[in-house]
Structure 1
Amino acid sequence: MINKIILPLFFVLFIACKTEPKKAITFHDDVAFLASDSLEGRETGTENEKKAAEYLMNRMKSLDLNPKGDADTFYQKFTFKPKKDPHGEVQYSTGDSTITGTNVIGFLDNKADKTIIIGAHYDHLGMGGEGSLYREGKAIHNGADDNASGVAMLLKLADTLKNINTNNNYLFIAFSGEEMGLLGSNYFVKNPTIDLSKVNYMVNMDMVGRLRPDNTLSISGTGTAPVWNQVLNTANKDFKLVLQESGVGPSDHTSFYLQDIPVLHFFTGQHEDYHKPSDDTEKLNYDGMKKITDFIFTVISDLDKSEKLAFRKTKNESEEVPRFKVALGVVPDYLFDGKGMRIDGVSEDKPAQKAGLQKGDIVVQLGDSIVVDMMSYMRALSSFEEGNATKVIVDRNGKKIEATISF
C-alpha cells in the first residue's frame, strides 16, 4: 500500500522538476559574476579575463546566438605589445612581451541585408596600476559600473531581440582591451568578422549602471546620423537627455565612427568610484539599467523598418580640449547642464581638497575667468602652471564661496 502511494508521488515530483522553467538571469546576476573579487578586475590578457570571456561565451550560447569570432568560435583573439608612448599606435604582433586579449562575439542572424552592432567592453583595471585613481597600493578594481553594467545590458538586449525587429541582424560584441586604448574594437574594425559595409549603426554602452535620481542620461554620437535627435527625443519617456554630437570619445564607439558608421554611446555619468576599488555591485541602479535597456530597445524598434542610416561626420570636440599643466583634483559632473562646472568628486590631498572644495560645489569662476560650462572651465585651468595660486569661486547651495587654490 505504501509503495503504491509513493511511486505515483515520485513521478509527479519528477515531472514537476522536469517542467519547472529555468530561473531568468538578471542584470544583477551578470554584474555580480563579472564584478566579483574572484575575477580580480578582469585585466586584459589575464587568466581572470579569460574566465570572464568563457562566462560570456556560455551566456551567448544560452541565448541561442551564433558564434561570430574566428574559425566558427565566439572568440576573436588579438595579440599586441603594450604602448610605451601613450600617444603612439598600438602594435598588433606576436612574440615576447605581448598580451592577448579576447573579444567575445555572438550573432543573431535574421537573414537581413543590414546589421546592427551592439557593444560593451568587459575588461577592467585588474589590481589597479596605470589608469587607476586609487593611491593606496594594489587592490581589486571590480568595475561594476565600468563596465559590467554595459555587458549585462548587452546580454539583456540579445535576449529581448530574439524573433523581434527582424529587419536587421544583430552582432553583439563584448570588447577586450578598452581600458588600454580601445584595442578590442580597433582590432575588430580592422579585422571584421562581418561585412562592415552592411552595418546599419553601432550602439555602445559604457558606464550605464549609475542612473541618477533625476534620470539624466548622456548620449554621444547624435550628430553621426541626421535621424538620431528626432528618434531619441520621440522614444524618450523617462530621461533628461544630454545629447552630444561628436562620434569621437573615450570608448569603443569611436572605432566604428572612424569607419564611417553611425554610432550612439550611452553613459550615466562619472562618479567618485570611477577607476577605484569601490566601483562595486551593490552601488548600481538596476531599475535604471532596465529603463535604459528598454529605451534602447524602443529606439531600435522605431528604426526597424527604416532604410540604412546615412552617416554624417561630426566636429571632434576632443581636438578642442586645452592642454593642462596642472590639475584641480576633482571629478567633473559631465551631465550637469547648468551654468558652471559642478564637482562630482574630490580627490584626496589635491588642490581642491586643500582649498576646502566639496562634492556638489559649482565652480563659477577660476582666476579671472568666468566659468559657464565645461569648456570654459578647461580653458581657465589650462592657463595655470605648477606653483601658481589663484582664487576660485564656487556656488554651494546658492551661496557664493571664495577660496584660494594652490597648484
Structure 2
Amino acid sequence: MIPFRRLALSSAAAGLLLSACVTDGATPVATPVAQPPAAFQAQLLEDVRILASDEMQGRDTGAPGGEMARNYIVGRLDALGVGAPMMGRLQPWEMTGRTREGPKTFNGVNIIGVIPGTRVSDKYIVVTAHYDHVGVSNGQIYNGADDNASGVATMLALAADLKRQAPEHSVLIVALDGEERGLLGAKHFVEAPPVPLESIAMNLNFDMTARAETDGKLWVTGTWQNPQFRPVLDRIPADGAVALAFGKDTPQDIGEDNWVESSDHAAFYKAQIPFLYLGVNYHPDYHRPSDDFERITPSVFVSATNLSIASFRALDQSLDR
C-alpha cells in the first residue's frame, strides 16, 4: 500500500479454498471446494517467505531485488501454466516517481498472465497486486511481507485455483511494479493495456492481505463507488477469524481512512473502470523494517486468502447477469 505522509485457519477452514459459486436466484453464493490443506497453506506461505526474504533487498523498483522478485513470480506463473498475452509476459516502462530525495526516473516491469474465460471470453477481470516495496533505508531492509508479498501470494493462489476450475470471464493476472513510487506500474498498464480498455469489466486489487488479526477484517473498498458489487459480496460468510468488511471509500472517510486512491486500483478508478480493493487495516509494522514473514499468523492469512478467492468467484459469476 502506498504510504500516507509517513514511512515509518481455523482448522476447519485451513483446508478449503472458497473457490466456487452456486446461485440462489440471481445472487451468487460462495461455496467451498476442498483443496489439499497442507499443500495450499505451504505454497501460500512459501511465496511470502521468498518474496519477503532479505535476499530480495526490499524489492525496490529498478533494484536487483526487484528483478529477483520478478523472476520468481514469472517462474510461478509458468509453473502454474498461466499463459501470457500477445504482447508478452513482461511490460516494461519508464516513468518519473517519488523518492525521499525528490523525483526520480524509474525503470519498472509489470508481469502479466492471462486465463481464458468459459462464458464471457471477450471481457476481462484484471486482478492486480504490486510486488515492489520500498527497498533499503539507512542500512535496514524493508522486507514488506504484508505490503505486499502477501497480496502477490494471494493472487498466485487465485491463479492456481483458476487453473483448476476455469473462470467465466477471462482474467488478467497482473503483478505490478512501482506502486510505492506513485502507482507507476498501474498507471502505465491503464495507459497501454494488453487488451482494449473497454473490454476490462473490472479491477480487483489485492494489497496487504495477511495481517487481518488487527481487527479480524479483510476490508473491501469500492462498493460506495460501485454499489452493484455490495450484494454480491454481502453473502460471503466469515472464514475462521476473518470476515469481509465494507468501507473506507465514502466522502466521510478522510485522510488515512479513505483508501480509494491508496493503491493501484486508483489508476483504474480514474480511468472509470469499476474496481474493488481488498486489504487489511494498518498495523504497527506497516512500512517499517519489522514487516517480516515471521509476523504473519498462517491461519489468519489462509482465511483472508480464502475470502479473496471467494470474492473473485462471486464477482466472476455475477458480472453481465
User: Is the TM-score greater than 0.5?
Assistant: yes
Identity, in percent, stands at 35
Distance 2:63 2:215 in 1: 38
Residue 72 of structure 2 aligns to a residue whose secondary structure is: helix
For residue 101 of structure 1, the aligned residue among 79, 99, 108 is 108
Distance across 1 between alignment mates of 2:71 and 2:178: 16
Q: Normalising by structure 1, what TM-score?
A: 0.61
Greater RCO (Cα-Cα under 8 Å, separation 6 or more): 2
Report whether the alignment pairs 1:60 with 2:74. no
Displacement of 1:240 in angstroms is: 5.8
CA contact (8 A) 1:201 1:263 kept: yes
Cα 1:99–1:245 shift into 2, 3 Å:
closer
User: 1:343-387, CA deviations, whole angstroms, 9 ceiling, x for partnerless residues?
Assistant: xxxxxxxxxxxxxxxxxxxxxxxxxxxxxxxxxxxxxxxxxxxxx
Aligned partners of 1:215, 1:202: CA distance in 2, in Å? 24
What per-residue deviation string (whole Å, max 9, x for no partner) do you get for residues 130-149 of structure 1?
xxxxxxx3311100011000
- 1:41 aligned counterpart, secondary structure: helix
- The answer (yes or no) to whether the contact 1:222–1:243 under 8 Å persists in 2 is yes
Counterparts of 1:205-284 in structure 2 under 5 Å?
A: 205-212=206-213, 214-238=215-239, 239=243, 241-245=245-249, 248-284=260-296
The unaligned stretches of length 5 or more in structure 1 are 1-22, 91-96, 129-136, 310-407
Change (3 A) 1:86 1:231: farther
Rounded Cα–Cα distance in structure 2 between residues aligned with 1:113 and 1:81: 33
Q: How does 1:3-402 map to 2 (within 5 A)?
A: 26-68=43-85, 72-83=87-98, 98-110=105-117, 112-128=121-137, 137-212=138-213, 214-238=215-239, 239=243, 241-245=245-249, 248-308=260-320
Return the offset for 1:304. 3.3
Deviation at 1:201, TM superposition (A): 1.3
Secondary structure of the corresponding residue to residue 140 of structure 2: coil
Q: Deviations over 1:245-296 (max 9, x none)?
A: 3572210011111111111111211111111111100101222222222222
Q: In the superposition, relative to structure 1, how do residues 240 and 101 fare at CA in structure 2: closer, same or farther (>3 Å)?
A: closer
TM-score by length of 2: 0.77
CA offset digits 1:273-332 (Å, max 9, x no partner): 1111111001012222222222222233233343438xxxxxxxxxxxxxxxxxxxxxxx
SS of residue paired to 1:80: strand
SS of residue matched to 2:318 = coil
Are 1:79 and 1:99, in contact at CA under 8 Å, matched by a contact in 2? yes
Q: What is the Cα-based RMSD across aligned positions, in Å?
A: 2.4
User: Which amino acid is the alignment partner of residue 58 of structure 1?
Assistant: G
Decide whether aligned partners of structure 1 residues 55 and 143 sit closer, same or farther in structure 2, where only a CA change above 3 A counts: same
Tell me which structure has the larger Cα radius of gyration: 1
Contact 1:60 1:106 in 2 (8 A): yes
1:161 offset after TM fit, Å? 1.3
Gaps of 5+ in 2: 1-38, 251-258
